[in-house]
Structure 1
Amino acid sequence: MNKDESRQRRARQTRIRIAEAQANRLTVIRSNTHISAQVYSPCGTKVVAAASTMEKDLRQAIKNGGNAQAAAQIGKLVAERAVKAGVVDVAFDRSGHRYHGRIKALAEAAREAGLKF
């Protein structure tokens, strides 16, 4: 089992637990150059709120979308949008990535902006 398969296995197990709990899910999608976050409804089919460094407004404000500062801005923005949509309690789905660096920055910014997880 290689590194990516291990990450996908961890992500799958996390998503199974979140689905059983019937919780809103804050998912993080990470690449080398960008980061995005989405809040899904408990059924997993509807996106309640989303934010990404690929959005036109943010691309101009953020020089580099692949660093912790950009991740913190995305965390704050997705939390504000989720709270505006009426979602406060979520389960954090880090997609199998370690809780470190950009993932941690996004999560902490989302907590500070009002999400509870």
Structure 2
Amino acid sequence: MNTKMKSNNKKKLRLYIFKSNKHIYANLIDDEKEKVITSSSTISKDIKHQIKSFKNCATAQIVGKHIGLKIKKLGVKEIIFDRGKNLYHGQVKAIADATRNEGIIF
């Protein structure tokens, strides 16, 4: 995963979205410490049983909701959304909307 792209704002955590041919990954990264804080994906043990097919918008919503819940548990309210080279469309938009529905601001 390309974690070399760093945000200019060191105070906020960055939610980086990566899509492979089969799976979708959402990683919450602390650029100051250069460390992944938490993550969620279609291969996560917590949500694997909810997923019927690996890569579609419904699956992306499940991943987005799961990462949103994890971010809320950490006490973080505002993040930076990093879609990488992906267009803000389809699965990436579904992850963003589901994360916002959990109360995360970006």
TM-score by length of 2: 0.87
When structure 1 is superposed on structure 2, of 89-98 and 54-63 the one drifting more is 54-63
Task: Identify unmatched segments of 5+ residues in structure 2.
Answer: none
In structure 2, the partner of 1:97 is 86
SS of match in other structure, 1:56: coil
User: Post-superposition shift, 1:47?
Assistant: 1.9
Q: What is the RMSD of the two structures over their aligned residues, measured on CA atoms?
A: 1.9
Detail structure 1 runs of 4+ shifted over 4 Å in the superposition: none
Bigger CA radius of gyration? 1
More strand by share: 2
User: Post-superposition shift, 1:42?
Assistant: 3.8
Count of aligned residue pairs for this structure pair: 104
Q: 1:44 to 1:109 in 2, by over 3 A?
A: farther
Task: Identify unmatched segments of 5+ residues in structure 1.
Answer: 1-7
AA partner of residue 80 (structure 1): L
User: Post-superposition shift, 1:68?
Assistant: 0.4
User: Post-superposition shift, 1:44?
Assistant: 5.0
Q: Percent identity?
A: 34
In structure 2, the partner of 1:21 is 9
More helix by share: 1
SS of match in other structure, 1:21: coil
